[in-house]
Amino acid sequence: MGTGQVVDGVGLRRLGVRFGHLGLRELLEPQLRSLVAEQLGVPANWLRPEVSLEQDLAADSLDCTELVVAVEQRFDVRIPEAVLERVRTYGELVEAVIEARLERDGGMVPIVFLRATIAPGPRSARGTVTRSAWLSPYAVETITADARRAGPGGRLDVVLPASAPLVAIERVRECFDPLVEAGVAIDVRHERPSPRRAVA
Chosen domain end from 39, 71, 105: 105
Which of the 8 DSSP states describes residue 17?
A: S
**Are 45 and 66 members of one domain?**
yes
Would you give the DSSP letter of residue 122? T
Tell me, yes or no, whether 32 lies in a domain.
yes
Q: 88: which DSSP letter?
A: -
pLDDT at 70: 94
Asked if residues 188 and 173 have their Cβ atoms less than 8 Å apart, the reply is: yes
Pick from 13, 5, 1: nearest CA to 141? 13
What local confidence, expressed as pLDDT, does residue 107 receive? Answer: 53
Tell whether 58 is covered by a domain.
yes
Question: What's the domain range around 62?
Answer: 20-105
pLDDT at 105 (0 to 100): 61
User: Does residue 140 lie in a domain region?
Assistant: yes
3-class DSSP state of 161: coil
Statement to judge: residues 79 and 137 lie in one domain? no
Mark whether 100 and 146 lie in a shared domain.
no
121 and 81 together in one domain:
no
CA-nearest of 47, 96, 37 to 67 is: 37
Note whether 61 and 121 are same-domain residues.
no
- Domain boundary among the residues 105, 123, 147 is at 105
Average pLDDT for 135-163: 89
Residue 11 located in a structural domain: no
Higher pLDDT, 112 or 62: 62
The verdict on 101 and 28 lying in the same domain is: yes
Q: Are residues 95 and 121 in the same domain?
A: no
What radius of gyration do the chain's Cα atoms show?
Answer: 21
Count Cα atoms within 13 angstroms, Cβ side, for 53: 26
Q: For residue 56, what are the contacts with CB-CB under 8 A and spacing of at least 6?
A: 46
Q: 24 and 95, same structural domain?
A: yes
Identity of residue 47: L
Among 52, 79, 105, the domain-final residue is 105
Residue percentage of the chain with pLDDT more than 90? 42
| Predicted local distance difference test score (pLDDT) of residue 10 | 36
Nearest to 11 by CA among 182, 120, 141, 133: 141
Taking only the tens place, the pLDDT of each residue in 52-73 is: 999 999 999 999 999 999 999 9
| Domain presence at residue 46 | yes
pLDDT at 8 over 80: no
Q: Are residues 31 and 61 in the same domain?
A: yes
Asked if the model's pLDDT at residue 145 lies above 50, the reply is yes
Q: Verify that 147 and 185 share a domain, yes or no.
A: yes
124 shares its domain with 87: no
Q: Are residues 155 and 99 in the same domain?
A: no
In this prediction, residue 195 has a pLDDT band, given cuts at 50, 70 and 90, of: low
How much is the pTM?
A: 0.49
Total count of domains within the chain: 2
Over 50: is that where the pLDDT of 6 sits?
no
CA distances from 136 to 14, 38, 83, 110, 140 (A): 14, 28, 28, 10, 6
Lowest mean pLDDT among 7-11, 121-125, 154-158, 178-182: 7-11
68 located within any domain = yes
